[in-house]
Copies of this chain bind each other. A is one copy, B any other.
Amino acid sequence: MSNSLHLDIPRGVPWIDFTREFDAPVAAVFEAHRDPDKVRQWLGPHGYEMAIDRWDFTTGGGYAYTHTGEHGTFGFRGVFHTVRENEFALQTFEFDGAPDEVALEFMWFEDLGDGRTRLRGRSIGRTVEGRDAMVESGMETGMAEGYDRLEALAAGAGAGAG
């Protein structure tokens, strides 16, 4: 079975749905989102250095980080409305290049058994146009590259080699 990223981008609504399966246990996939030392190793497109100013992956917590690469430094921040271990996370997301164009991002962590996990997500922007601009910015490539690194990280952790 393929573990590649699947995006669903329906016309006329402001959201993107995605799914990605991992050959790794749900606890390892969740931990790769919770622990900033792990997040730094996978989040974002290839070729960027991630610097985390804040990463508090708890209900009511928040985050702030930058990605630095050949095109410059890009900042991101948000708050975590809900985090439930190995199950669910809900965050806001803002790119400092598009101030106040905040998205709401739902993530469901699903235990598929046999040490496999499905991550399902919905990201909702303020407008359909903003959603479309995010898609055109190369979001899919960045997500796919990030999740490939997450899989390597979480599969290693799941095998006790983390």
Binding site for B on A (CB under 8 A): 12-15, 60, 62, 78-82, 88, 90, 92, 94, 100, 102-104, 106, 122, 124, 126, 128
Contact = CB atoms under 8 A, between A and B. Distances in A.
Contacts of A104: 92, 102-104, 124, 126
Nearest to A56: B60
Contacts of A94: 81-82
Q: Oligomeric state, in number of copies? A: 2
B100 A88 contact: yes
Contacts of A15: 14
Contact of A12 (B12, B81, B106): B12
A128 B14 CA distance: 11
Contacts of A13: 12-14, 128
Nearest to A103: B104
Contacts of A79: 60, 62, 79-81, 92
Nearest to A15: B14
A13 B131 CA distance: 13
B128 A122 contact: no
5 contacts: A13-B14, A82-B100, A90-B102, A103-B104, A104-B124
A80 B80 CA distance: 10
Given A79-B92, A92-B92, A126 B102 contact: no
A83 B65 CA distance: 20
